[in-house]
Structure 1
Amino acid sequence: MTDTLPALAPARPILLLVEDDDGVRRGLQLLLSGQGFDVHSFALARNALADTGCQNARYLIADYALADSNGLELITALRARGWNGRAVLITAFASPELRAAAPAAGFDAMLDKPFRDDDVLRTLRG
């Protein structure tokens, strides 16, 4: 008699979500969880950086204006630790200066608030 183990479901890709607006964060968390992401959501950058799973994340969505930091400082800290996932900056404060600073800091894309769900998903997938 041969015992067989059930097949393991493929791991859901980890996504760090750092957004201090509770409503926006919860809406994105629901959207992304429903699309197959394992969402680790945080209101503060320091809590995201303290998460033991942050280095395993394949994706990051970070707001620019956070209560304890900003998205540029967050991505700089993650990249300094060797994190190399796909990163998207979201902001209600887009400016030409921020559009130049975001890729220089390590973001792959930037979305202006308000945005549509489809825009988020398309931007994440590159």
Structure 2
Amino acid sequence: MPPEIAPLGLRVLLVEDDEGVRRSLQLLLEWSGFEVRAHALAASVMALKREMLAGVHLLVSDYFLEDGDGIALLQSLRAAGWQGRAVLITAEPTPMLIDRARAAGFHAILEKPLAKHELIKALTE
């Protein structure tokens, strides 16, 4: 039985193009009580209908994606009216990238490899 970390019904949109990392993060989040919708490409997220996005509370996105980047993805989601909390994950958190991510509206920028508690804290606090 998963621990009661996430409030019931809290939905996460996970965007990570590395299949192993995506699956690991999905399992971690589900085990922590989140409902997770995982995608490998930014384009598949942008193809979601507005009603489906309205039910998503949180975004966890990798910076480098096969078809773009996490910052551009969040900017597109914001332009479409999505207002949830966003967390960017990256292997290279340079000061310039951190500034760009914060300006785009990311709540937190986390460095890979991720510590479980950092991701959960960024999503719940």
Report deviation, 1:35: 1.5
Structure 2 length as normaliser, TM-score? 0.89
Describe the SS at the equivalent of 1:23.
helix
Unaligned runs of 5+ in 2: 1-6
Match of 1:59 in 2: 58
Confirm or deny: 8 A CA contact 2:90 2:111 kept in the other structure.
Answer: yes
1:31 aligns with 2:28: yes
Indicate the percent of aligned positions where both proteins have the same amino acid.
47
SS in 2 for 1:25: helix
Amino acid at match of 1:105: A
Question: d(CA) in 1 for partners of 2:94 and 2:82?
Answer: 26
Question: Structure 2 CA distance, aligned partners of 1:85 and 1:75?
Answer: 10
Is this contact kept in 1: 2:8–2:33, CA < 8 A? no
Q: CA deviation at 1:12?
A: 1.6
Map of 1:5-44 to 2, 5 A cutoff?
12-44=9-41
Structure-1 separation of matches of 2:68 and 2:10: 25
- How far is the alpha carbon of 1:82 from its aligned partner? 1.1
- What are the ranges of 5 or more consecutive residues in structure 1 without an aligned counterpart? 1-9
- 1:51 is displaced (CA, Å) by 2.2
Partners of 1:65 and 1:58 lie apart in 2 by: 22
The answer on whether the counterparts of 2:64 and 2:70 sit within 8 Å (CA) in structure 1 is yes
- How far is the alpha carbon of 1:11 from its aligned partner? 5.5
Q: Secondary structure at the match of 1:28?
A: helix
SS in 2 for 1:57: coil
Question: TM-score with structure 1 length normalisation?
Answer: 0.88
Q: Which amino acid aligns with 1:33?
A: E
Q: Distance in 2 between matches of 1:11 and 1:54?
A: 18
Whichever of the two has the greater Rg, that structure is 1
In structure 1, the residue corresponding to 2:68 is in which secondary structure?
coil
Q: CA RMSD in A?
A: 1.3
2:75 corresponds to 1:81 = no
- Tell me the amino acid that sits aligned with residue 20 of structure 1: D
